[in-house]
Amino acid sequence: MKSRNAVLLVLTVLACVAIVLVNWVAPPIQKTIEYTKYSTVRLNVFDTEITLIGFAESEEAFAKNAEQAFELLENLDRIFDAYNAYDGLNNLYYLNRRAAQEPVPVPRELFELISWCKQKWDENLRSTNIAMGAVLSIWHDYRTAGIASPDEAALPPMETLQAAEAHTDFQNVVLDANKQTVFYSDPELQLDIGAVAKGYAADAASALLSKSMPSFLLSLGGNVYAGEKPLDGRSAWAVGVQDPRAKALEASISGSDILDIIDVTGLSVVTSGDYWRYYTVDGVRYHHIIDPKTLMPSTQMQSVTVVCQSSILADFLSTALFVNSYEDGLALVNSLPGVEAMWVLPDGKIEYSAGMTKFVRSLQ
Ligand code: AMP
Ligand code: MG
């Protein structure tokens, strides 16, 4: 019995020594994962072209991540849709038709977006006012008609715009956080969330992607979110800032539509520009970003690009800075930690906030 115990002891000691030796001499077997860059495009979501680039272990893994992200974006597109109804969904279209009669329970995402904007209003940031739907819808209708029949393109009468302006007070949007309901105490009030919807969506899709494919670049038209750095040796993602005055044809042939490149990781880059949506009356271009003070398309900027971590904030600010002077905008940007901006003024001159210069390729 004793000798059996002794043998067992010796064997155990030998086994331990062997384990230690193996780990010491032979390095642990490491499986190096190869990441490949994939990309895909989805059309007709958020009225724009959505591009996703990502580094994944396989094409299947990329396709799965892309599908999940697009599904989330398509769902948000329906919730934020101002023009179409969907069975059983209290989306923005439903809200704008119903909320003056009774408090309307809305999906979490819509409630979050409206509350976020109202918070900014309460902080006195009012250049981007999503409660300005009554004014914006007039411009929308005149623009749509003017694009359809350029010969009959006209400007909305100022009296009509001013009458609508009386119904743009965000105080009249009554939110109940417990019930997640929205009520309009002004029956003429309408919400237009075009200034922030893509930013909200970019944040939501990026949060999802960060979990399963953290090295990605997501672009929703002018809203870009750069995830962790690309896995091909580069230290940042390159985001092009469009030249507001590039001619479309020339640009597509020569790539000359890029004004500069912004190199970022873990940040959102959002541009508001006068070249996205506009119509022409008597040879003058009238675009889609309306200054709440003049009720007219702002003439302060050709474009403004904002860089910060939150895409909804970048989206909100790009619209706000677009309707303000460079000086006022710079003061606002300087008061906000982690926010940088680049302005293209009406004469084409470019201005940068101090911290923006570290992202702009031509300034390195
Ligand atoms: P963005 O391209 O992010 O600057 O958003 C422009 C869109 O926001 C327009 O198409 C309108 O739907 C809406 N919008 C325009 N001007 C304003 C404004 N001053 N405040 C809030 N929304 C606006
Ligand atoms: Mg915006």
Helix (H, G, I), strand (E, B) or coil at 43: strand
Residues ≥6 apart with Cβ < 8 Å to 142: 153, 154, 155, 156, 279
284-329 pLDDT tens trace: 999 999 999 999 999 999 999 999 999 999 999 999 999 999 999 9
- Residue closest by Cα to atom 18 of ligand 1: 128
99-120 pLDDT tens trace: 999 999 999 999 999 999 999 9
Nearest-angstrom CA–CA distance, 145 and 137:
12
Please choose, from the candidates 356, 69, 75, 114, the residue with its C-alpha nearest in 3D space to the C-alpha of residue 214. 69
Residue 360 identity: V
Q: Is residue 134 within 6 Å of ligand 1 at its C-beta?
A: no
Q: Is residue 274 within 6 Å of ligand 1 at its C-beta?
A: no
pLDDT in the model for residue 252: 52
Nearest-angstrom CA–CA distance, 69 and 71:
5
In percent, the amount of the chain with pLDDT more than 70 equals 89
Residue 10: pLDDT band with limits 50, 70, 90: low
Instruction: Among 192, 302, 305, say which to mutate for ligand 1: greatest number of ligand atoms within 8 Å of CB.
Output: 192
Looking at residues 62-78, what average pLDDT do you find?
A: 98
**Are 60 and 228 within 8 A, CB to CB?**
no
Q: Which ligand is nearest to the CA of 289?
A: 1
**Are 91 and 109 within 8 A, CB to CB?**
no
Please choose, from the candidates 319, 288, 325, 292, the residue with its C-alpha nearest in 3D space to the C-alpha of residue 306. 319
For the chain, domains (ranges, CATH) are 34-80+199-230 (no CATH), 88-193 (1.10.3980.10), 236-364 (3.10.520.10)
Q: Is residue 288 within 6 Å of ligand 1 at its C-beta?
A: yes
Angle at CA of residue 225, ends 221 and 227, nearest 5°: 150
Residue 33: pLDDT band with limits 50, 70, 90: confident
Looking at residues 273-294, what average pLDDT do you find?
A: 94
Instruction: Among 169, 223, 290, 305, say which to mutate for ligand 1: greatest number of ligand atoms within 8 Å of CB.
Output: 290
Residue 23: pLDDT band with limits 50, 70, 90: very low
Q: Is residue 272 within 6 Å of ligand 1 at its C-beta?
A: yes
* 54 Cα distance to chain centroid: 17
Helix (H, G, I), strand (E, B) or coil at 207: helix
Buried b (16+ CB within 10 A) or exposed e, 198-214: bbbbbbbbbebbeeebe
Secondary structure (DSSP) of 100-159: TTS-EE--HHHHHHHHHHHHHHHTT--SS-GGGHHHHHHHHHHHHHHHH-GGG--PPPHH
* Minimum-distance ligand 1 atom for the alpha carbon of 292: 19
Q: Is residue 304 within 6 Å of ligand 1 at its C-beta?
A: no
- Residue closest by Cα to atom 2 of ligand 1: 272
* Minimum-distance ligand 1 atom for the alpha carbon of 198: 3
Verdict on whether the full-model pTM lies above 0.85:
yes
Cα of 21 vs centre of ligand 1, distance in Å, is: 67
Cα of 129 vs centre of ligand 1, distance in Å, is: 8
137-196 pLDDT tens trace: 999 999 999 999 999 999 999 999 999 999 999 999 999 999 999 999 999 999 999 999
Please choose, from the candidates 293, 297, 253, the residue with its C-alpha nearest in 3D space to the C-alpha of residue 275. 297
Nearest-angstrom CA–CA distance, 328 and 335:
11
Cα of 131 vs centre of ligand 1, distance in Å, is: 11
Residue at token pair 């697009």: 70
Residue at token pair 């007709």: 44
Cα of 22 vs centre of ligand 1, distance in Å, is: 65
